[in-house]
Structure 1
């Protein structure tokens, strides 16, 4: 399968040398069974047409999906054009911009930062999932989806982030606010890069400690692979 990665941001300066960029993180997460193509959406680089790849992963980003930036507008246009033409998988910013592109709403949440290891309760299991009722993965976000786009069902969420994982009923598309591609050491380093600047000392310490716990990154990777194998089951 030809799998396009729409790159919408980069790790903070210095961290990429150790952990790689976001496309590299997704390649490690999903494994070698795909023909990966990367497009730097922030530089205006997008596929010539949606069917250039069978599916697309939209990465995380320090940007906000509601910003009035040209590249964000172009990305939303591309996602709308890809509706029904290619499978879509959105992660963090990707989750948010998919919601915005298809009629939902994203805001800077009054709940504040979501960092560390977060747990979501499964509300509506999908054919590509197993029977687990709760999942855990690193989080790193201030923005949240607060209004669902038409055709989207809530698969999982939490009190902190109710619309944490979505599946579309009118197109082959899924998205999640959590970061299955973030290895715990990267998630810790990302928090450290923001400690005392954008995140308080105590909040950062608690989030870093939480990342010592078990997570479901491998399970989420398998779910994405199953979805990509037959996106009609979304």
Structure 2
């Protein structure tokens, strides 16, 4: 669901445009322009909406974290990121993929997806439920890199160490000194991250066109 859809959802739950604008911290005119298919240009506005909807601003805006610009090889031209194929695997195969087992790709992959996501052990998963609505819809594709460090604010795949098939997609957050796995769906509850949990990887891309 995009920003316009999120706004319509809030209005459908009883808020007026003026009330929503005040809650987000933007002008009513900003709401009107978004509903007229004019996306905000100011990063600060995106951050205000991201804070209200409890999302990462870059995911809300583009479906992927912001990339750090590299040095240009030629004037005005950035470095080319090579395309590659990574496996779209079942949730039951997460443990084998994260462990780098050579036969996991062959036996557990549903497809090979072309992407510029980097990382030798990167893989893709299909979102299995509505626990991360409205940012991650059921059936959409996420790309996961198991080699990246996971910090609060990152979207992660985590679950019991011995039963990786029970892993879930969540936002990693802190409450006091404790880490929690936070669902974006307001009907779901936080889960305390314990020693029995394992972070199987960090979400680095959301692909909305599948």
User: Same fold per TM (> 0.5)?
Assistant: no
With the length of structure 1 as denominator, give the TM-score of the two structures.
0.28
With the length of structure 2 as denominator, give the TM-score of the two structures.
0.31
Q: Which has the larger radius of gyration?
A: 2
Q: Which has the higher helix share?
A: 1
